[in-house]
């Protein structure tokens, strides 16, 4: 009887959650590719979303995102993966574990090197990585807020403390002149990539759970773990801040992507749907259910190309394509 009551209450709570988030629409195009028959623990797209890499049952797989073929598979055992990254030109792959990073050449499939990483604290572990080729550079965030910048070709490593807690996001800006970082201390920062000096900071009330930028890096979306989700132009003469507008008390944003032209924002939730927004005013356009093979599927990574085609990668190993232009017209 108790089990029946618990199930009934859970079902009611689930239905209330659906209702509170508004109507969830299915994909009108229904274009999807199943990349893995088993759930994936960690997964990311390449910068053009033509490749995807993911971890499942101790195997790291690099595959074409349209399901047309596996490029490489690497045995990594049972060690905990903390980060994945493909270089912008799709020639290098990095996977981080708690204390070290392995880099592979995706052209030859050969291992390029293994790099041990540390923070200021002896207990610090790797929390986030970003990888760049020609020349090879690694940005490595640690759980104690330390950032390591590894310049492979010059055998140079720089270390600086940007944050007071775990680093959750790292990227190099246009022409590699800026470093963008965010952490569980709620701080979003821009830094000069050469001097590592801070050039801009924005403070969230809680830990940052997702961050995205457009092609020019002049529009940032930042979400914390409670109810603060903002769009920021950090380079405007007067910093412009737009808040997302929704009826609920709070929402959880796990992944995000901004269209290259800066018009639209896509956000992934902790459930099996994602939401499309206008960046100009923070208004919601619509919510859309992902293609899933289980009830626990959620989006791991998102990418929007110049034609406003959104690609989503979920924890069931499914890549789904969405035409944002069509979705906008549907929801006018």
pLDDT at 22: 55
Give CA–CA dist 198/175, Å, rounded: 17
Q: Which of 304, 240, 237, 296 is nearest to 266 (CA)?
A: 304
pLDDT at 163: 95
pLDDT at 331: 87
Say whether the peptide bond before residue 135 is cis (omega within 30 degrees of 0). Answer: yes
Beta strands across the sheet bearing 220-224:
208-213, 220-224, 229-233, 240-243
Question: Given the structure tokens 């905990």, which residue do they identify?
Answer: 80
201 pLDDT above the threshold of 50: yes
Of 69-78, 210-219, 254-263, 308-317, minimum mean pLDDT range:
210-219
148 pLDDT above the threshold of 80: yes
Looking at domain 23-34+215-332, what is its CATH homologous superfamily?
YVTN repeat-like/Quinoprotein amine dehydrogenase (2.130.10.10)
H or E stretch at 3: helix 2-20
pLDDT at 17: 42
Give CA–CA dist 272/285, Å, rounded: 17
This prediction's pTM? 0.89
Residue 99: band (very low, low, confident or very high) from pLDDT cuts 50, 70, 90: very high
Task: Tell me the two tokens of residue 244.
Answer: 């997302």
Close Cβ partners of 290 (under 8 Å, ≥ 6 residues apart): 27, 272, 273, 274, 297, 299, 312, 314, 318, 320
Assess contact for 170 and 162: CB atoms under 8 A. no
CA distances from 178 to 189, 199, 200 (A): 10, 9, 10
Domain boundaries, the chain: 23-34+215-332
Q: pLDDT tens digits, residue range 15-68? A: 334 434 458 999 988 899 999 999 999 999 999 999 999 999 999 999 999 999
Residue 269: band (very low, low, confident or very high) from pLDDT cuts 50, 70, 90: confident
Angle value at C-alpha 187, between 183 and 188, nearest 5 degrees? 90
Give CA–CA dist 219/229, Å, rounded: 13
Q: Which of 301, 272, 266 is nearest to 284 (CA)?
A: 266
Task: Tell me the two tokens of residue 245.
Answer: 């507008």
Give CA–CA dist 169/212, Å, rounded: 9
pLDDT at 305: 96
Number of H helices, E strands in the chain: 2, 29
Instruction: Report the C-alpha dihedral over residues 201, 202, 207, 208, rounded to 10 degrees.
Output: -90
Q: pLDDT tens digits, residue range 106-127? A: 999 999 999 999 999 999 999 9
Close Cβ partners of 256 (under 8 Å, ≥ 6 residues apart): 210, 211, 212, 221, 223, 265, 266, 267, 268, 302
Of 117-126, 268-277, 309-318, minimum mean pLDDT range:
268-277
């Amino acid at each position: 009887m108790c089990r029946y009551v618990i199930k009934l209450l859970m079902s009611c709570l689930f239905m209330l959650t659906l209702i509170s988030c508004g109507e969830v629409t299915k994909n009108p195009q229904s274009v999807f590719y199943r990349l893995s028959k088993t759930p994936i623990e960690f997964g990311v797209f390449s910068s053009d979303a033509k490749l995807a890499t993911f971890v499942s049952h101790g195997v790291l797989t690099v595959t074409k995102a349209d399901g047309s073929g596996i490029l490489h598979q690497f045995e990594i055992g049972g060690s905990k993966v903390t980060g994945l990254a493909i270089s912008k030109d799709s020639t290098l792959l990095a996977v981080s574990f708690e204390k070290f990073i392995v880099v592979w050449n995706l052209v030859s499939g050969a291992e390029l090197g293994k790099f041990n990483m540390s923070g200021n604290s002896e207990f610090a572990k790797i929390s986030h990585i970003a990888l760049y080729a020609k020349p090879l550079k690694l940005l490595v965030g640690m759980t104690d807020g330390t950032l390591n910048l590894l310049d492979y070709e010059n055998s140079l490593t720089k270390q600086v403390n940007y944050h007071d807690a775990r680093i959750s996001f790292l990227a190099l800006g246009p022409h590699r002149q800026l470093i963008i970082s965010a952490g569980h201390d709620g701080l979003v920062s821009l830094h000069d990539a050469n001097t590592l000096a801070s050039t801009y900071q924005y403070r969230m009330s809680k830990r940052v759970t997702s961050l995205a930028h457009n092609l020019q890096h002049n529009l940032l979306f930042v979400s914390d773990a409670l109810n603060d989700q903002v769009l920021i132009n950090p380079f405007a003469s007067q910093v412009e801040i737009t808040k997302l507008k929704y009826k609920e008390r709070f929402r959880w944003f796990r992944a995000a992507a901004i269209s290259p032209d800066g018009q639209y924002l896509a956000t992934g939730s902790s459930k099996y749907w994602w939401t499309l927004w206008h960046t100009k005013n923070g208004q919601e356009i619509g919510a859309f259910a992902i293609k899933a093979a289980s009830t626990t599927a959620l989006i791991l990574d998102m990418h929007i190309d110049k034609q406003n085609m959104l690609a989503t990668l979920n924890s069931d190993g499914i890549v789904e394509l969405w035409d944002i232009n069509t979705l906008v017209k549907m929801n006018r």
